[in-house]
Every structure is written in C-alpha cells, then in structure tokens.
Amino acid sequence: MFEKYLSERIKRTPSSFIREILKVTQKPEIISFAGGLPNPISFPQEELKISMERIANNFGAKIYQYSTTIGLESLREYIVQRYNKNFGMNLSIENVIITTGSQQAQDLIGKVFVNEGDCVMVEKPSYLGLLQAFTMYGANFIQTQLNDDGLDIEELKKTVALKKPKVAYLIPNFQNPTGLTYSEQNRKDVFEIIKDEDMILIQDDPYGELRFSDEKRLPYIGQGSEKNIYLGSFSKIVTPGMRLGYAIASKEIIRELETAKQASDLHSSIFSQYLIADYLENNDLDKHIEKIKKLYKSQAETMVQAMKDYFPTDVKFTIPKGGMFTWVDLGEGKSSLKLFDKAIAKQVAFVPGNPFYVNVEDTTTLRLNYTNADSETIKEGIKRLADAMKEA
C-alpha cells in the first residue's frame, strides 16, 4: 500500500547489499574483511582535540553559525596549495567546493549532469556508492574492463565510439574495489581516446595519498582539461566521521555544483571545516600520512603472504601498492555468493563482487579490506577463508 507513493528513482535503487552484509558481519566472533573502514591510527586524535579548543577560542560563534555553501575559504585555500604543489596545477579557490564527504560530490555531479537515460561509463568493477548515487538520476551505465594496468584500451575505444558516454567515472589510484592503479602509459592512452569527446571525466581519488610502494605519484588523466572533475576526501587521511570531501573543477562546474548543494544541505558542517582546516594548518599532514602508509603496507603484505600460503593455487588476487583493498578472483565456475555463506559459517566475512557490477547476479570475485585488523587476525581470517574455499 505504501509503494504507490514512491518515486521511480527510489524503486530502481536497491537498499545497499553491503549494508545488509555489514549487519551480518558485526557479530564480534566474525573476522570481517568486508568493511571499508580506515584504521583508527589515521585519526590524529590528540591533535584534533587541540584544534577543537583552538577554534573555539579563535572563532567563537562562527564555528556554530550558518555558513556559505561553497565552503570555508581557509580549507579551500589549503586544498588549492596542496594540489598546486603536488600536481603542478594552477588552481584558485573558485575551483574548489567542500562537500559532505566525497559521496555527496558524486550525488551532486549526478544531479547536475545526469539526465534520465544518459550513458555513464564506469570501470568494471566500480565503486558501488557511485552506482547507487547515479542510479537515482537514471544513469544508463556501461562498464569498461579494468585490467592490472588500467582501463582496457580496446574496449574503451569501442565503448566511446558506440555509446558516446556523457560522463565517465574512474578511480585511477588503488581503486575500490580492486586495489588496481592505472599505469602512466594507460593514463595517456585513455586520454588520447577521450580527449575530443563530449564527455565529463570524473576522477575519484580517495586513496591516492596512501601509496605505500616506492613508485612515484602519477598525474591525473588529461590533467588540466576543463572537462575534468577531481574528487578528494579527508576520510582516509584524517577522519571520515566529519564527512568532508571536495570537488575540484572549472569555476563554471563548481558554480553548478554549488547550486545543487544549496538545495541538498545548504552547506557542510562548518565546525568540521574549521576543525580540519586548523589541524592542517598546524600539523604536518605528510608526516601523519607516512604513519598510516607504514601500517597499511605491513597489513597488505601480511594479507598477501597469507593468501599465498593458504589459498588454493588457482585463486588469483591483486597485489596492492596502496589504498585499502585487494581483489580476489576464485576462477571460472566459482560463486562468491556461495563462498560467502560457507565463510560466514567459518566466521570470516568479505564483500562478494556482484554489487560492484551493473546487473550481475553472481560473480567469481570478491573484495577484501586489510586496514582494520592486526596481523594475527589477518592470518587467521585468511586461513578460515581458505578453508571455506576448499569446502565450496
């Protein structure tokens, strides 16, 4: 009786599969590689406490009052400086809008650019939060295979020629869910194919700072193009609980996102913005990030070694060079959904691959997160998972 009131867009958006999984995996006896939580080591708790006191003393009522939709100037200035330095960009604060987490930036971009039926290209597999957000706006998704070195170039050529996507959404560094990174050559090849197309290119980069291999940091695809939107976030390097992300783009695009954001939540918590800005101005973020990377590197290595030690030899997995995830392929004919049930029985959890694909019921793939467990727990969990694989 209630359903008759619902909009078409909510009817086609399934309640999140991952949310359902996380309910199962919250039991304390279960070792969970299912979540995507940063390790609490990445929250500079003592420094944030000092910043709280300082902003309360320095800014008084301003940290509690309504504020501008586009976001706090000092925080946008910090972002501009960092991108100009790290990527040789030439941004000014009019190129930056603060969002309520990177998820909101995705929602706003959907609002601003996606008409019902518009073709949107995403990686295969892709981040499910984006799939959810854009499904609301009626996106017609097409997925292009993600390989070890980036997008599948032949498939990309065909997709661009045949489907003419209006928007593309890519995660070039330590992708969620696969952990894969685009090579320098692949970035060039991708840009070569899309540069003359009528296409907005979104590059989501929540994990780019978390590169724990020795290789150098790479520029974005077609860096500097007016049609590019870069998404960033403080969630993985300072705190996700404050819900602060940002979009970087041309002034014209930022203005449209601002109009959309005003209708969505007026502005993001100004307290959070003052707090993070103060933390960034008074601490060495790079030094803090080193600490996170050191931990994640050792956790990733532990998980990779355990997978080598325990998994059946025909099971494949990615070797992460940064970020928070590894991606496992069970091999032809296998089912990650069936494995999930066996694994839960053995008290270990993961995310089956299907929610990262469009219209796929079951897959041979699954996502493992390694950032939120100590090394003994990682080994024990992988052992249990290997046992479940052998049974399945």
- Among positions 44-83, residues that touch a copy of itself (CB under 8 A) are 45, 48-49, 52-53, 56, 60-67, 69
Q: Closest distance between a copy of itself and the C-beta of residue 109, in Å?
A: 10
Closer by beta carbon to a copy of itself, 44 or else 179:
44
9-17 long-range contacts, CB within 8 A, separation 24+: 9/135, 9/136, 9/137, 9/138, 10/136, 12/135, 13/132, 13/135, 13/136, 16/128, 16/132, 16/355, 17/128, 17/354, 17/355
Q: Closest distance between a copy of itself and the C-beta of residue 246, in Å?
A: 13
CA distance 250 to 237: 25
Q: Token pair of 250, please? A: 């041309």
Tell me the C-alpha to C-alpha distance, in Å, between residue 16 and each of 12, 20, 306, 367: 12, 7, 30, 16
Q: Phi and psi for 181 in degrees, rounded to 5?
A: -130, 140
Q: Closest distance between a copy of itself and the C-beta of residue 333, in Å?
A: 33
Q: How many residues bind a copy of itself (CB under 8 A)?
A: 80
Closer by beta carbon to a copy of itself, 252 or else 284:
252
CA distance 67 to 19: 32
Closer by beta carbon to a copy of itself, 234 or else 311:
234
Q: Closest distance between a copy of itself and the C-beta of residue 171, in Å?
A: 16
Q: Which of 77, 149, 155, 256 binds a copy of itself (CB under 8 A)?
A: 256
Q: Which of 183, 213, 223, 264 binds a copy of itself (CB under 8 A)?
A: 264
Which 311-370 residues touch a copy of itself, going by CB under 8 A? Answer: none
3-class state of residue 254 by DSSP: helix
Closer by beta carbon to a copy of itself, 38 or else 320:
38
Closer by beta carbon to a copy of itself, 65 or else 90:
65
Which 153-192 residues touch a copy of itself, going by CB under 8 A? Answer: 166
CA distance 107 to 102: 9
Closer by beta carbon to a copy of itself, 272 or else 318:
272
Which 83-142 residues touch a copy of itself, going by CB under 8 A? Answer: 99-101, 103-104, 107, 111-115, 118, 129, 132-133, 135-137
Of 308, 295, 390, 343, which Cα lies nearest the Cα of 31?
343
Helix, strand, coil distribution of the chain in percent, nearest 5: 45, 15, 40
Closer by beta carbon to a copy of itself, 18 or else 366:
18
